[in-house]
Amino acid sequence: MGRLSFFASELTGNKTLFFGLSLMLMICLLAVLGPLFVDFANSRVGATIPRSPPTMEHWFGTDGQGRDMFTVMILAMPQTLRIGLTSGLISLSVGVALGLIAGFVGGWVDTVIRLASDVMMTIPGIAILVLVAANVREMTVELMAVIVATLSWMVAARTIRAQTLSLRERGYVQVARLNGTSGLKLVFVEVLPNLLPFIAASFVITVSNAMLATVGLEALGLGPQNELTLGMTIYWAQFYGAIIRGMWWWWGPPILAIATIFVGLMLTSAGMDSFVNKRLGASS
Amino acid sequence: MTSSYWDYVARRFGIMMLVVFLAVSINFALPRLMPGDPIENQLNQLMASGGGAMGDVGAMVASYRARFGLDQSILTQYLAYWQSVFSLDLGYSLTNYPERVGDAILAGLPWTLGLLGFATLVSFTIGTLLGGLMGWPRSPRFLKTFGSGVLLLSSVPYFLIGMILLYLFAVVFRIFPAGGGMPFGMSAGFNFETFRAIAWHATLPLLSIIIAEIGAWAIGMRGMMVSVLGEDYIALADAKGLKPKRIFLRYGMRNALLPQMTKLAMALGHIVSGAILVEVIFSYPGIGFRLYQAIQSKDYFVIQGIVLLLSVSIAVAMFILDLIYPLIDPRIAKGK
């Protein structure tokens, strides 16, 4: 209970985090519940009259292929979020595991992990992504998440490694070690709980990076061709010259949705930053 | 220089070599890991869609077979690939056949370097100043409110800002051109007309990168400024009765600037891969747009060449920067 009320007071005191999380919650609710209320058929090519501006019947208008844009948006949102969250989770788990191992084991293991993350950070992610995506015959949502994840685990690994290194030398960990606590138990019982704020902060950053890479790849036309995603919607709008043709309702909604997601992520991340750093300041 | 500096240099050099090695190997391995013969596939597709000059296809297949040396052992192929990379022989474009990949890259590079170099320097200057002022307690309130707005904008991917700018200033109000690097059919010369035309066409892409980047620079600078202002020497300067402007510039900004410079160096290193999508949105003739066209037409060797260039140029740029950092900030070489 104590922990929960601490969290609640933190939320009311930290407006940035509060707004960020509310925004993210709203987006997630829309993504989960939205698809229950729309007719999937309206998102197919040729379902309606193409190139119609917003009307009472089609709230967001229709695109050049006759898809109802409102339906497209509702169905594309969860897909984009799914890619971002899945690859965020994968790269976070890999990053945390590698960071913990590097920080705890040290020696040549640490050197190898550090070297790998240095190298991966220098390679331009988008370039490798383009190459992989160009070689894959058919892109799917799952494959996309895995590809993006392989290129975004480094931030989490570095953060967690640095924190592990500093935690390892703390008094209570030393005492636990002297008491004969075994390595694995030490990690999971003594160290990991104290890393939770950092893991949460890394998660937001990782998801944000993953979404950025995902949307970028999709907008280049390398996303899942047979699925509706926010980035692919932008790609098709761009491909058919929707901007020059003045069809703002085609590219406007996906831009708005993506912008909202990123603003939400940034507010959450900025809010968490002051949260994490305050605890850091208090404990050291 | 001390031995720790050389240890650091050796380590960084090793990382660069590893990156180059990996980039070339990935470039070599990926098409071979995929099912089917990439050349056969690409060319068949090309034939089916009626693109390219038909007469050249036979010669192209032969040339690529020879290049890939598909009948030889994988090791021979790998070594041959390295050789072609070293001799900068990256093959031909599949869709614009006689064009060499190297030439395609060279044609786009000046546009990209110019656009991004300028945008990065401008957004760095404005963003750093804004961030410094935002972290300074005596700044007027409206500045902080304005700054928060800019920070929010910076979280939105820059190509989305570009699309909105394009719509507003090239479609609704026809002030700026909708695309291209200079007017169609205009021949470039070293004169004012050319310069003006290029600047006119670059305005919107520049703006979209600058708007999106300012916030990122401001965030970093504000953070540094706040922590610098907490230092004892600021309190001392204040107690000595120095003018606030002097404290702000000489004590605050100056000391908070170092990490920003480091980041600027890094940003300059990433310049080539920076704004692929902005070039796409504005049909700007840089290598980002060329990459997009290559992806569109499945022009595999151009994709491969540009990706290779991106990886290697960043690896080399990062290494050069790594050499310079410790000269600016000696703590770096000692710390690692």
Q: Please tell me the distance from the alpha carbon of residue B35 to that of residue B31, in angstroms, as a whole number.
A: 8
Nearest chain B Cα to A134, which residue?
A: B295
Provide, as residue numbers in chain B, all residues whose Cβ is less than 8 Å from the Cβ of A19. Answer: none
Query: In terms of CA atoms, which chain A residue is nearest residue B170?
Result: A244
Chain B residue with Cα closest to A269: B155
Of B163, B307, B314, the CB nearest to A131: B307
CB contact under 8 A, B311 and A124: yes
Give the up-direction half-sphere exposure of residue B284: CA atoms within 13 A in the CB hemisphere: 32
Q: What is the C-alpha to C-alpha distance for residues A223 and A216, in angstroms, rounded to an integer?
A: 9
pLDDT of residue B126: 92
Distance from CA of A251 to the nearest CA of B (A): 9
Q: How far is B19 from chain A (nearest CA, A)?
A: 6
Put simply, the answer to whether A255 touches B273 (Cβ < 8 Å) is: no
Measured between CA atoms, the residue of chain A closest to residue B11 is A115
The token pair at B21 is: 């090695």
Which of B19, B30, B157 lies at the smallest CB-CB distance from A122?
Answer: B19
DSSP assignment of A233-258 equals: HHHHHHHTTTTTTT-HHHHHHHHHHH
Q: How many CA atoms lie within 13 A of A219 on its CB side?
A: 29
Nearest to B273 among A124, A246, A262 (CB): A124
Tell me the mean pLDDT in the region B270-296: 81
Q: What percent of chain A has pLDDT over 70?
A: 90
What is the reported pLDDT for B57? Answer: 63
Name the nearest CA neighbour of A104 among A192, A172, A179. A192
- For helices A192-219 and A125-135, the axis angle rounded to 10 degrees is 60
Tokens of A151: 């290129």
Q: How many CB pairs under 8 A join A and B?
A: 115
Cα–Cα distance, B23 to B327 (Å, whole number): 29
Q: How confident is the model at residue B185 (pLDDT cuts 50, 70, 90)?
A: low
pLDDT score for A281: 39
Name which of B16, B38, B36 is nearest B27 in CA terms: B38
Q: Which residue of A has its CA nearest to B215?
A: A266
Is the interface score ipTM higher than 0.85? no
CA distances from A58 to A61, A64, A249 (A): 5, 14, 11
Confidence of residue B200 (pLDDT cuts 50, 70, 90): confident
Nearest-Cα residue of chain B relative to residue A240: B281
Q: Is the confidence at residue B140, as pLDDT, over 70?
A: yes
Residue among A118, A132, A243 minimizing CB distance to B166: A243
Mean pLDDT over each residue of chain B, to the nearest integer: 78
- Summarize the confidence of residues A111-120 as an average pLDDT: 85
pLDDT classification of A283: cutoffs 50, 70, 90? very low
In this predicted structure, the answer to whether residue A86 has a pLDDT above a threshold of 70 is yes
* A186-227 residue pLDDT tens: 777 777 888 888 888 888 888 888 888 888 888 888 888 778
Structure tokens at A183: 């390595």
Cβ neighbours of B31 in A, within 8 Å: 135
Most A-contacting residue of B226, B303, B307 (CB-CB within 10 A), to test interface: B307
Confidence of residue B264 (pLDDT cuts 50, 70, 90): confident
**Is there a contact between B156 and A244 if contact means CB atoms under 8 Å apart?**
no
Among the listed ranges A24-28, B33-37, B94-98, B139-143, which one has the minimum average pLDDT value? B33-37
What is the gyration radius of the CA atoms in chain A, in angstroms? 22
pLDDT at B122 over 90: yes
Inter-chain CB proximity A222 and B22 less than 8 Å? no
The answer to whether the CB of B32 falls within 8 A of the CB of B80 is: no
- The residue among A23, A122, A251 with the most chain B CBs within 10 A of its CB, best to mutate, is A122
- Say which amino acid occupies A68: D
Residue among A223, A265, A122, A140 nearest B322 (CA): A122
Q: What is the pTM of this model?
A: 0.82
- A190: which DSSP letter? I
pLDDT digits (tens, 9 = 90+) for B205-247: 999 889 888 888 888 888 888 888 777 887 888 888 788 888 8
- In angstroms, the separation between the Cα of residue B314 and the nearest Cα of chain A is 7
Q: Contact B272/B313 with Cβ under 8 angstroms?
A: yes
Contact residues, chain A, for B304 at CB < 8 Å: 131
Which residues of chain A lie closer than 8 angstroms to B160, CB-CB? 234, 255, 258-259
On chain A, the residues whose CB falls within 8 A of the CB of B22 are 119, 123
How close A210 comes to chain B (CA, Å)? 12
Using beta carbons and an 8 Å cutoff, which residues of A are at the interface with B?
A: 115, 118-119, 122-124, 126-128, 130-132, 134-137, 212, 215-216, 219-222, 234, 238, 243-244, 246, 248, 251, 255, 258-259, 262-263, 265-266
Which residues of A fall within a CB distance of 8 Å from B166? 243
Output the pLDDT for position B336.
Answer: 44
| Subunit contact A244:B178, Cβ cutoff 8 A | yes
Chosen from A19, A113, A131 to mutate, greatest number of chain B CBs within 10 A: A131
The beta-carbon neighbor of A127 closest among B15, B170, B307 is B307
> d(Cα B219, Cα B147) in Å, to the nearest integer?
9
DSSP A43: G
Residue B187: helix, strand or coil by DSSP?
coil
Q: Hey, are the CB atoms on B23 and A123 less than 8 Å from each other? A: yes
Contacts of B174 (CB under 8 A, 6+ apart): none
Amino acid at B271: I
Looking at the partner chain, which of A119, A234, A238 has a beta carbon nearest the beta carbon of B15? Answer: A119
